[in-house]
Structure 1
Amino acid sequence: MTQLFTMSEAVKTSYSQVYLTSLNYREGELSVDAFKGQTNGLCGAAVPGGLFLGLGCWGGRVPFTVEVHDVAPAVDASWDEIVEASCRFEHLPVALTGCDGDCAYPLPLTTGEYRVRFCAKGYGESKQVGGLCDPAIESYLLILWPETQRADEVIKQTSAKAAHFHDEVRNR
């Protein structure tokens, strides 16, 4: 296994959301049906070409790491919340962006199918302090690797807030 890329930034969020999409993608398309038919309520991958990532922190900047691997890495059980989903990107470049499309962080992805693992620590436990989510409490990791499409899954769930979002998606 080779880690091909790592990015760690304090990513701007609002409305508890960030997206991973091609830069020409319209966010409204993604937010409406992102979780349709899924079992996890944190990483919406039901709309081709984008991911809707639901955060626990309402707004401000949140510690966020993105890794791109050539194959699936082992699951790190130290994370409180872990979900996986599949996505496909047909247009480049692909970037992690805030809710309003600002603060774009381009990723070195190629077109094709990917599996993503979205992990969180302290999901929803952080309070904003000076426009920042408390990095000592709440942080996120998104890992991508090439893999054919398969159903999403909840690997680990510990918080009541994450459980609420999983239940909400399953009961639609």
Structure 2
Amino acid sequence: MRNLYLILLHIFLTFVVTHSAPKESVITNLPGFNGSLPSKHYGGYVTIDESHGKNLYYYFVESESNSSSKDPIVLWLNGGPGCSSFDGFGYLIGNPVADEIFDGNALVPFAHGMGLISDQIFENITKACNGTFYATNSSDCNHCLSNLDDIIALDNVFTSNRFWLMD
């Protein structure tokens, strides 16, 4: 399982977290969302096994704050076999979510979206590796988090940002 996270993280950092993202990956609007998006959004497919035609879909949202160069980076992994992480991204992390008066097509900005939450909340969630990573003992957790730091260093765009793995 740890290797899967590291592979996904590597793919994420290598292909998604770049300022020179392909123009075709830029998302400028969402169905039912009126107006411009509150931050830069990117999405597309990353080939993970060309010989078998396997691809992963990614969706990257830059921070909405003015200090995005210091904000944490969150890799959101939820869902499961046959279950999309995209619903959880919209409903649990936010920006945007369905309007209170849901007509099946209306979206509004979520006031408590992850793009607006301070770093301190992530600090509290991740103390002693609780909430974002499961390990049988703290030394395993520290080892894996150290490996994540090494992988983040491969990409020089967001190396000064903190990184949180959420699942």
Higher-strand-fraction structure: 1
Larger-gyration structure (1/2) = 2
Higher-helix-fraction structure: 2
Q: State the structure with bigger RCO (CA 8 A, min sep 6), 1 or 2.
A: 1
On whether the aligned pair clears a TM of 0.5, the verdict is no
Give the alignment's TM-score, normalised by structure 1.
Answer: 0.28
